[in-house]
Amino acid sequence: MSPIDSYRRLFGLTGATYVVVAFLARLPLAMSQLGTLLLVTDATGSYGAGGFCAGALAVANALGATFWGGRADRVGQRRVVAVQSLAGAVAIAVLLLVVHARMPWGVAAVASAVAGLLLPQIGPLARVRWRPITARSGAAQPRLVDAAFSYEGAADEASFVLGPALVGLAVSAVNPSAALVAAAAGLAVFGTWFAVHDTARLTHVATRAASGVAGRLLTPALLALCGAQLVIGAVFGSVQTGTTVLATAAGQPGATGYFHALLGVGSVAAGLAMAGLPASFALPDRLRWFALALLVLAAPLLLVGSLGALVPVLLVLGCSVAPYMITTFTLGERVSPPARTGAAMTVLAAATGLGYALGAALAGRLADLGGHRPAYAVTVGAAVLAVVLSWATHRVLTRALRHSAEDAAPPASAAA
């Protein structure tokens, strides 16, 4: 089955409306991080303060994701995501009020954290839905699930293309506040729509059926994957901060969103192409080589001295990002018990958010001292860690995959 045929069959199972809604519902989170960074930086004049508030939002979102993911496994995504979408929209509005009231930026950091705590992780929860959706596909299900994870990785990256671009448009046309107003409105509408879609009920039924064999969540394999996502989150946070500094120094702070979006362009294309990789290219092997590609393609950031030179570097760097993330999430789904998939996906997303916070905060502090190059040095350092982790945990991940496949195989007597 070709990648195009896989995607055609996959989307035929849900219809176009679900695919569009699930994509639009993840844009508010992509917009909120950069929107918060620019809003607070503009109000305070400090990259450190802006990076800290954006990091506070990301950390709180990461910590909240583990709780909300577990709740979604137990009571279903419908109720959990609906509450998060409406409450998160209100929290973003409160953040805007705090900043415009000229309160100390520490208060804005608290408001950012509250908003982050409530914002739903749509991408990971959408991944959970695909196995139940494809349950009646017979022998084609494994291939369809792989295609679904490739698509979701590309969709996440596309959201981080369009999200920053929308922020940049709002900043250029109006101000940073307009970006967060749009994020709040989009969350209230599309987040709630995603919550009540029929696929949420189907997923809850499948999760309840598997609840008798919940199994252990935080295995060595999942912890290794959390480390992998932590470093890719640091890449996102440091690249975003470094690009903000470079664009502001060039007198074009509103261009930050557009330039950061370049990182996702190559990533989307590479992510969609992942569905064509042969099954013989084992997932732990993929992680090692995609991590190495991340390092090689991140290194030129240290040589960038202008916005023009940044364009090709970000475009090419993106080609390693989605394949790396798709591989970690696919591994996470494979090595986790079926009844804990929602929690596993959100734990990985939480690790990404924590990495973003660390990367943004460290890069922001270094940028205040030395400009964009020290910020981009954080990106390269994170890529080095990605290589080390992927090679050091290869055996753990291979063993976990083998055990998972053995557990999923029918007993010999049943097969006979």
The per-residue pLDDT for range 70-83, each reduced to its tens digit, is: 888 888 889 999 99
Residue 209 binned pLDDT confidence (cut-offs 50, 70, 90): low
1 confidence band (pLDDT: 50, 70, 90): low
Mean pLDDT of 44-58: 81
What's the chain's average pLDDT?
A: 84
CATH number of 3-134+141-404: 1.20.1250.20
Six token digits for residue 340: 């804990």
59 or 18: which carries more pLDDT confidence? Answer: 18
Higher-confidence position of 363 and 168: 363
Max avg pLDDT among 99-108, 288-297, 300-309: 288-297
What pLDDT is recorded for position 211?
55
pLDDT at position 215: 63
Q: Would you tell me how many other CB atoms lie within 10 Å of the CB of residue 394?
A: 16
Is residue 379 pLDDT above 80, yes or no?
yes
Break the chain into its structural domains and give their ranges.
3-134+141-404
pLDDT digit string, tens, across residues 15-32 = 889 999 999 999 998 888
pLDDT per residue as tens digits for the range 220-276: 999 999 999 999 999 988 988 888 888 888 887 767 767 777 877 788 888 878 777
Q: Note the pLDDT of residue 412.
A: 46
Instruction: Supply the pTM of this predicted model.
Output: 0.76
- Nearest CA among 114, 295, 87 for reference residue 184: 87
Report how far residue 70's alpha carbon sits from residue 75's, in angstroms, rounded to the nearest whole number.
9
The predicted structure's pLDDT at residue 210: 58
pLDDT in tens, 140-186: 777 788 888 888 888 887 887 788 778 877 877 778 888 899 999 99
pLDDT value of position 415: 46
